[in-house]
Amino acid sequence: MEDYDLERRLSEMLSEMLQEGEMEQSDRTAKEVRQISPKYEIRIQTAHDPIVEETLRYRKIARELDGRYDKYLERSGIIDHRQDKDSKPASGSGGGPQ
């Protein structure tokens, strides 16, 4: 019975605390402004494109099933050093030529 009374009193206290004061309009407006996505985005130009570098690393390990990154690499001006499409894909055994 004591647990029920304690829970009820705590619930009433919480309800009173939540209803006591009004939310300040300036805080609410500032919060809404922070949640709006920015109109402009800032881009930083780098010397190396991480997508190109990662794609070339993956292509050293294995052959892609499709050419989804080919156009991206062409636009970046990077010469792709991957294997010819007719050659065998890299074996997963880690050994040399068989």
Buried b (16+ CB within 10 A) or exposed e, 60-84: eeeeeeeeebeeebeeeeeeeebee
Q: Show the tokens assigned to 98.
A: 């068989």
How far apart (Å, rounded) are the C-alpha atoms in residues 47 and 4? Answer: 66
For the chain, give every domain's residue range.
Answer: 47-79
State residue 61's pLDDT score. 92
The answer to whether the Cα torsion of 10, 15, 20, 21 is positive or negative is: positive
Residue 95: pLDDT over 50: no
Residue 10 DSSP symbol: H
Chain centroid offset of residue 33 CA: 23
Give how far Cα 91 sits from Cα of 62, 69, 85, Å.
8, 22, 15
Q: What is the pLDDT of residues 33-87, one digit of tens each?
A: 788 877 777 888 888 888 889 989 988 998 888 888 888 888 888 765 544 444 4
State residue 24's pLDDT score. 61
How far apart (Å, rounded) are the C-alpha atoms in residues 81 and 85? Answer: 12
State residue 26's pLDDT score. 66
State residue 22's pLDDT score. 64
For the entire predicted model, the pTM comes to 0.36
